[in-house]
Chain A
Amino acid sequence: MRTKIEVRDLKKSFASDKGPLAVVDNVSLTVQEGEFVALVGPSGCGKSTLMSMIAGFLQPDAGSVVIDETLRTRPDSKGILISQQGSVFPWLTVRENLMFGLNGHAPSDKRTVAERYADIVGLKGFEDSYPHELSGGMLKRTELARALAVKPDILYMDEPFSALDALMSLRLRNELLQILAKERHTTLLITHDVEEAIHLADRIVVLSPRPTRVQTIFPVPFGHPRKVAGREAQELRVRILSELGVDREEIG
């Protein structure tokens, strides 16, 4: 396997009333090509800041992000970010949204590609709908399809399903796994949901409270499809949760 993302000694602090506030402190991390890595940490620990730096939206104070052996300085369409609040354009139809990132295609090709990805995520028949006519799950599907349509090397997912209800979140997780089984993308997922991380990831990186550091890394040695309710998975969950500072008694 080839190294896809190499994060070296990343540091970031923000100005606050009480002087500089360190948010990310010396994070180093390597992600292999095609690997699915989940970043789990307490809320407000700086996960999103870390992801923003890796995706190129934010410049680190120190350290570097190297992707495909090239220093990352700004975002590009090889790595698409999917965020919690979503960024599907409300003034464009589903089809127009899916066609948005397709630069350098002929118009008819754009249409074909958009239709194919609408089909993959189960949006067939909704191509001409506007986002405000869609449910939260459909909106997420649109966002995912728009990202996949540009064939990114890397998917950056920042709590993508946390605004959905539990059932819809589970369904989308399964759909994501099915898509990734067909089109392998290197994926970086931020989540506070340990179960979601175990369900999806090959490796789980536990981050410390702010300023965040890599605390522990857990490999997830289970094949797909996974039984998150299985004994081994539950044991892993307890270990990760206790790493996050949740006592065994509290987990129950």
Chain B
Amino acid sequence: MARIKEILPALALITALIATWWGAVIATHSVIFPTPWKVITGTFELLKDGTLWRHIGASLLRVGLGFGLAVCVAVPLGLWMGWVAGAYRTLNPIFQILRPISPIAWIPIAILWFGVGDASPIYLIFISSVFPMVVQTTVGVHTIEKRYLRAAENFGVSRRTLFRQVVIPAVLPQVIVGMRIGLGVAWLVVVAAEMIALHSGLGYMIMDSRNAGNRYDLVIAGMIIIGLIGLSLDTTMRILEGTKWARWRYAH
């Protein structure tokens, strides 16, 4: 009951927005802009012929590969940069310059290097999600409290124990925060990347619906689906933040 009360205002707002949208379309007699009902029927149309699942699968696969690759590179690199001062001094300035470049700006170069296949969007996702994760991991290492490193030094543990029982677990909550940011960016980028020169994915689906006969009902359906999938990806990362590897960080 209390939960229902909590989500009630948000639910009411969404209902109001849909009602306004519906009313506005009818009032303006728009022929191109669809009513909410048309969006729903359009979605079912896509579900029935299976194209929606194909596009969702394609987008998720690209994000999975690009983001997975970024995790594999960013976490070891971030640990190294955090631990070795020389590595930080050398690499950090370059990353600080590369980081603010919008992934969209990389599109021409991605096409030049990787062509118009799957490799381009995977590269774009990689480049956009790798930097926030490197930065978070490095920050994680830098913010390990001195007293813990001192205790490890005091007990004279091996390097292996130091990393496995002190550094890695201490950094993990930050790594997960980085992954959450990285995955969020990756999902933004995949849709943008697919709008250009690709034949599958939710981004392609949106552009194609417009180009092939102004099917704005499908455009909006695609947008809503992108939002919902983005939300569920973020929720997954939030669940990761609640696991025992990260929970100690927020327990006080």
Identify the A interface with B (CB < 8 A): 55, 57, 75-77, 79-81, 83, 85-87, 89-92, 96, 100-101, 103, 130-132, 150
Contacts and interface: CB of A to CB of B under 8 A. Distances in A.
Contacts of B158: 103
B154 A91 contact: no
B45 interface: no
B50 interface: no
B224 interface: no
B150 A81 contact: yes
B156 interface: yes
Interface stretch (B96-104, B108-116, B162-170, B206-214): B162-170
B166 A77 contact: no
Given A76-B156, A87-B150, A130-B251, 20 more contacts: A57-B153, A57-B154, A75-B153, A77-B155, A79-B154, A80-B154, A81-B150, A86-B147, A87-B148, A87-B151, A89-B148, A89-B166, A89-B169, A91-B172, A92-B169, A100-B165, A103-B157, A130-B244, A130-B248, A132-B248
Contacts of A150: 155
B195 to A, nearest CB: 43
Given A96-B165, A132-B248, A80 B148 contact: no
Contacts of B150: 57, 75, 81, 87
B118 to A, nearest CB: 39
Interface of A is mostly: loop
18 contacts: A57-B154, A75-B154, A79-B154, A89-B148, A89-B151, A89-B169, A90-B248, A90-B249, A90-B251, A91-B169, A91-B170, A92-B169, A100-B155, A100-B157, A101-B156, A101-B157, A103-B161, A131-B248
Given A96-B165, A100-B165, A132-B248, A87 B147 contact: yes
A81 B154 contact: yes
B244 to A, nearest CB: 8
B48 interface: no
Nearest to A104: B158
B: contact size bracket: 20 to 34
Contacts of A86: 147
A91 B249 CA distance: 8
Contact of B147 (A80, A83, A131): A83
B165 A89 contact: yes
A96 B153 CA distance: 17
A74 to B, nearest CB: 8
Contact of B251 (A75, A76, A80, A132): A132
> Most chain-A Cβ atoms within 10 A of its Cβ — which of B155, B156, B172, B244?
B155
B80 interface: no
Nearest to A88: B151
B252 A85 contact: no
- Residue among A86, A101, A130 with the most chain B CB within 10 A? A101
B245 interface: yes
Contacts of A91: 169-170, 172, 245, 248
Nearest to B147: A87
Contacts of B251: 90, 130, 132
A57 B161 CA distance: 20
A87 B170 CA distance: 13
A91 B176 CA distance: 15
**7 nearest A-B residue pairs (beta carbon):** A101-B155, A132-B251, A87-B151, A91-B169, A87-B147, A90-B248, A77-B156
A77 B252 CA distance: 30
A75 B252 CA distance: 30
